[in-house]
A and B are shown apart, each in its own frame.
Chain A
């Protein structure tokens, strides 16, 4: 009697252990919480939480892909060449909350990010000031929004261009390919020629030299670039779009989205998010 009891207890404990081991094998995260729970309810909780497991390209590492030319969200440090910026801090904090290391893949063109996440196998998440749109949501899942943003029209200082004058066949309006700025031009300036280029610097240089009449780009980026390197350009119009950035994650990995959302929520409640916002924008947003 006593023997059978202890055997049952043993089996229960072994089951719990095996459950958490399986979880550790395929997950790599959130195991700490389940393994600390008591053996009695652990078997049930590990059974349900094994459904929470997600896959990672590299165990113990959150592999991130981004277009690293979008200051202040992500850009390469002049000296070290390491990625830094608001998004970089956010994803590092997210990885930290999930008990993972964060690793960036080499710089990729912006319009390849969503297809890359959709196709899977190379990167787990993409955080690159990607606006959550219905169209993109057809290809990938997004985390809860982590930042609100707007668009801006940038032109050379003293320019008399307005949204109305730009909507003309003789005007070339540049943008970064595949961005919401690109969409905004095709929808709101149908008569102008929309020129999508690969990176923001090339676009702004083009506006500076008069190659293009204006650029449409995310407002925080416009502000940052104009203060730091393109002082002869001006924001001629702020377009209130109220778009929201999200972290793109493959649709095949819904539990990773959940885990990222959990981490984002924790960051909002414990003040991590506020301190990152203050670091990059001078105040919370």
Chain B
């Protein structure tokens, strides 16, 4: 009022003197502000706003989306010398408390005081009248369910006022801002699904609604993606290590030394004989207890690699031992030592024989990463579990199943192709490579021996060649033609 007056006075003044009262006005405004600030500690006796939070309502996410039902939780403490009889909370224009229901909790320290109240909502504000005055020092929590924030995202503060028992009304401090996001395309798609009659009909079937709820399937897909990457990452990083370790233990197990064999047998049997789940628990809870702290994901990789290596060791051992004795004898007859025999004769043949089994083991390992969810590695099952606990619906697990199948189905197909190729080549079928055709050998065993001699010579004479040989051996199962082990079979029988 006085400002108005001064303003009016200002307007009456002539131009050159106008500046002075304007300055005075600014000064007085600053003074008022300073006075208010100085008074604030004194008015700490008044009710304070502790916090205001909103429950995340993004399906499969952690955001608070505007114009969608959520729950606002507001907490305040009653000042020392007052008794509060009502509280009004308001949000900026666009928010709505219509259809909202309010739960009132009044606490004295940790003890609940039974005070009830009635909430009346009108647009963007809600007014809560308490059945009796809330005593000084009490904590008041208002949980307003099914309210909505404005549709456009942004940071919103909860403001409001309260009345004390003596009928005086005071303003409440603004709460810290709650960040709200605008609707996402995904959420829009979910809303669209919500409105479809066929979706409602689909969900009304208890089984379909519980396992294949379309809305949840959509949001699960989006929010499970990072978990899928973690799964893939873990298994792809762990597998090379597992192969190397597995090969090493396969060598130890086929070694002539008793002690080395014993070590390998212990390692393999312990790991193959206990559930992976148990190994995960031991590693995740045991290692930190002895003071070794490793990042969860890295530890996950280690556990998976160690576990797989035991299975791979057995696969490799079986593969190596399946190579006929004649191959060793032939290599020895060419003057190869043990190492040469292993690297250039035995292993290349083993590789193609074990590829189907190794791929199967890879599939198993990939699926077994799910067990890491029990110790807090944020992989597929962990994300699904989180979603299932928040939604009470099984659909996120179905979405996870699809993510697993995306990887496993093609791999299973690949295993099938390789097995077919190997079976065909073992039977002596399939196209002949050109090099062999030039040799024109009619006897298969002769042909094989020749090949063996050639590759042995090559690795003997040229140092650069073995790499391509190894590559050829590795890629052999995929290109479908019989190579050395064809001879091996003929040789062995």
Contact = CB atoms under 8 A, between A and B. Distances in A.
Contacts of A202: 374
Contacts of A186: 55-56, 62, 390
Contact of A187 (B54, B101, B103, B389): B54
Contacts of B382: 195
28 contacts: A134-B101, A134-B103, A134-B145, A139-B392, A148-B112, A150-B110, A172-B376, A174-B376, A182-B389, A186-B62, A186-B390, A187-B73, A188-B53, A195-B376, A202-B374, A206-B376, A209-B289, A210-B288, A211-B284, A211-B288, A211-B296, A240-B139, A241-B141, A242-B107, A242-B110, A242-B111, A243-B105, A244-B112
B141 A206 contact: no
Contacts of B293: 210
B409 interface: no
Given A148-B111, A244-B112, A211 B139 contact: no
Interface of A: 111, 114-115, 134, 139, 148, 150, 172, 174, 177-178, 182-183, 186-188, 190, 193-198, 202, 205-206, 209-212, 219, 238, 240-244
Contacts of A206: 284-285, 375-376
Between A114, A194, A206, the greatest number of chain B beta carbons within 10 A of the residue's beta carbon is seen for A206
Nearest to A178: B389
Contact of A238 (B101, B105, B110, B112): B110
Contacts of B55: 183, 186-187
Contacts of B56: 186-187, 190
B347 interface: no
A193 B378 CA distance: 9
A150 B296 CA distance: 31
B103 A196 contact: no
B389 A177 contact: yes
A18 to B, nearest CB: 37
A37 B105 CA distance: 42
Contacts of A198: 374
Contacts of B51: 188
B109 interface: yes
Contacts of B161: none
B71 interface: yes
A114 B392 contact: yes
B284 to A, nearest CB: 6
B72 to A, nearest CB: 10
Contacts of A244: 112
Contacts of A196: 385-386, 389
Contacts of B73: 187
B357 interface: no
B273 to A, nearest CB: 24
Given A187-B54, A196-B389, A243-B105, 14 more contacts: A111-B388, A111-B392, A114-B392, A172-B376, A187-B55, A187-B73, A195-B376, A209-B288, A210-B288, A211-B288, A240-B107, A242-B106, A242-B107, A242-B111
A211 B285 contact: yes
B204 to A, nearest CB: 15
Between A134, A174, A219, A242, the greatest number of chain B beta carbons within 10 A of the residue's beta carbon is seen for A242
Contacts of A195: 376, 382
Contacts of B54: 187
Contacts of A241: 105, 141
A111 B106 contact: no
Contacts of A177: 385-386, 389
A251 to B, nearest CB: 14
A281 B382 CA distance: 35
B386 A194 contact: yes
Interface in B106-128: 106-107, 109-112
A178 B389 CA distance: 5
Between A111, A114, A174, A238, the greatest number of chain B beta carbons within 10 A of the residue's beta carbon is seen for A111
B112 A209 contact: no
Interface in B362-387: 374-376, 378, 382, 385-386
Given A193-B378, A198-B374, A240-B139, A205 B285 contact: yes
A240 B111 CA distance: 8
B110 A240 contact: yes
A240 B376 contact: no
A89 to B, nearest CB: 21
Contact of B109 (A114, A197, A209, A240): A240
A139 B480 CA distance: 59
Nearest to B101: A134
Contacts of B378: 193
A212 B375 CA distance: 10
A139 B111 CA distance: 28
| Ranked 4 nearest A-B pairs via Cβ | A209-B288, A242-B112, A178-B389, A242-B105
Interface string B121-149: 00000000000000000010101010000
